Amino acid sequence: MEKDKHHPADNTLAKLIAEATGASPLNCYQCGRCAAGCPQNVPGVMEISPTRIMRLLQLEAAFSDDLERAADYAQQALNSQTCWLCAGCQACTTRCPQGVDIAGTMDVLREQALALGLAATDKRSRDIQHFHRGFLAEILKRGRIDEMSLVLRYKMATGHWLQDAAVGMGMFRRGKLHLRPANAVDTRQVQSAMEQMTHPDKGVPKEGEK
């Protein structure tokens, strides 16, 4: 039977992304607008552009009958630094003429990469993963972000105590960093939504996890 060009086969990363974002990566026609507008897609920063990530997902779906080959394409997408370097600015998603949710795809790739133990292990990606975990742990704990607590989590996890110190002082002087945390909000709904997205054990941040 001929494969449906726009609907990924079951058990593929492309299918998971289509379900999570409501837009299939198979609709991408490789125009490159997402990559052209991505502020992180510059030499020396992103080694695989958002457009190429879409292509890897399409190749995984196209070769879904060949498990080894399909897994190799999926792993290339999951193992890349791209999803960690993505700033979530949405420029790609708003530019895409095919309605593909590239930014949402990066979210799924991050969670899946952590859950499957395939996340990029270079130093820069590891630092961003520490920030990612700290951010989610803050949300789970308070239902909102406490900047100082988040900074502390990141510093303790990475040991980068002096990194961005000057920027931090500037933010503090402008009232962008608060010493006292804002009141926590009711976290039950937040926790329940996050558990639905991430359990069982899919990249859920654990206190003290490195």
User: How many residues belong to the site for ligand SF4 (CB under 6 A)?
Assistant: 29
Residue 102 binds ligand SF4, judged by CB under 6 A: yes
User: 185: which 2 tokens?
Assistant: 């909000």
Give the whole-angstrom CA distance, residue 45 versus residue 122.
12
Which string of x and - marks every residue 21-40 that binds ligand SF4 (by CB under 6 A)?
-------xxxxxxx--xxxx
Q: How far is the CB of 183 from ligand SF4 (least distance, A)?
A: 31
Nearer to ligand SF4, 29 or 199 (CB): 29
Nearer to ligand SF4, 25 or 146 (CB): 25
Give the whole-angstrom CA distance, residue 106 versus residue 78.
9
User: Which listed range, 46-54, 116-124, 129-137, 201-209, lies at the site for ligand SF4 (CB under 6 A)?
Assistant: 46-54
Residue 96 binds ligand SF4, judged by CB under 6 A: yes
Give the whole-angstrom CA distance, residue 115 versus residue 21.
18
Do 105 and 63 contact (CB within 8 A), yes or no? no
Q: What is the DSSP string of 147-207?
A: HHHHHHHHHHHH--SSTTHHHHHHHHHTT-S-SSPPPPP--HHHHHHHHHHHTTTSS---T
Q: How far is the CB of 135 from ligand SF4 (least distance, A)?
A: 16
Q: How far is the CB of 102 from ligand SF4 (least distance, A)?
A: 5
